[in-house]
Structure 1
């Protein structure tokens, strides 16, 4: 991957069935000086999971701070933020740069949090500086968001459906939006581990 050409400003990741294991691998690959915020939507139950929450699980292996996002939180490099249970996670413009926003709008494809609202809002805010990643999952959530990312000049990586635990989500994204790269999880981990900024944030 020619990372200096990417001018990486943010990474958004969507996952559903089988996604915890995939996210554990990806977040463990992020270096401590990762140059962008990482925003994650994992389809999850409406009730908070306490000590067994996805954020707590990912934090055990990740060199970066990992937490559920809160409304108005500045989106700064070197932090992994997850959509909280029963809230959509969005990216909004703020007075000093992009911030996280939370929404209780209707479920998208039976999910709240859903991937499409994050991808679409991040595409508007970050444009060509956005990298979106679609991982394993059992619905078409993320496909419309992937199309928005590419329409705004962002880059889209899709997990190879042949290795996904559940291939429905990556296949739906590929069918609707195509991809800049169809990658194995290992390839994604290797590339993220080498990421660096290619320009001013």
Structure 2
């Protein structure tokens, strides 16, 4: 059965994390941007402000909606944000030890049916799934930069990924106006690379 996504936590306060977090509030999804350091939110906030201003200037959003989106993104360093997440999108640096530690910890904090994904553009989804408790709920969601503008999202199914996880994400992204592409297996470089 497909899961309803009401709350998403985007982990990683860099360029991609900030851009990914922009996409969800417009669709009524509670959105949290998590980082390990408060200082990351200065840069993330500037990325979000600049991106929303550009969307408003180009008529994609009204200034009022852009302001509402910014207000709805919660910034936190508190790991309690994971405890009731429906979807976690990891967008931390492409360093295997960081990702390993992240998944080992976060997959213990989230409910058992929380979907966990990685925005990795280079690391094997199957490799990352080894660090996830219940890897059936894990897959890749590779967004292209800037993620709030470029419609393509690569959903990469790992060897252990449950098909309903991919279907849930495909429907979610399609409903958000994205163009999801399902990769039925983990291949080096995925599709876009």
TM normalised by structure 2 equals 0.51
Residue 33 of structure 2 corresponds to 40
Q: CA deviation at 1:41?
A: 0.8
Whether contact under 8 Å (1:131, 1:154) holds in the other structure is yes
Gaps of 5+ in 1: 68-78, 90-115, 124-129, 197-201
Cα deviations across residues 112-152 of structure 1 (Å, max 9, x unaligned)? xxxx4432x225xxxxxx11111223422353213443x52
Give the distance between the partners of 1:82 and 1:5, measured in 2 at CA.
Answer: 28
What residue is the counterpart of 2:143 in the other structure?
A: 185
> Which is helix-richer, 1 or 2?
2
Q: Residues of 1 paired with 2:45 and 2:36: CA distance?
A: 13
1:59 equivalent in alignment to 2:49: yes
Q: Is 2:162 aligned against 1:158?
A: no
State whether structure 2 residue 6 is matched by structure 1 residue 6: no
Change (3 A) 1:13 1:65: same
Among candidates 111, 115, 132, match of residue 88 of structure 2: 132
- 1:53 deviates by 4.3
> Alpha carbons of 1:37 and 1:182: their partners in 2 closer, same or farther (altered >3 Å)?
same
- Tell me what 2:130 maps to: 175
Alpha-carbon distance in structure 1 between the residues aligned to 2:113 and 2:140: 17
Equivalent pairs counted in the alignment come to 132
For 1:148 and 1:195, the matched residues in 2 are separated by 28
The TM-score with structure 1 as length reference comes to 0.50
Q: 2: CA distance between counterparts of 1:57 and 1:183? A: 21
Q: Is the CA contact 2:14–2:43 (under 8 Å) kept in the aligned structure 1?
A: no
Q: Which has the higher contact order (CA 8 A, sep 6+)?
A: 1
Residue 187 (structure 2) aligns with: none
CA RMSD of aligned residues (A): 3.7
Q: Give 2:148's aligned residue.
A: none
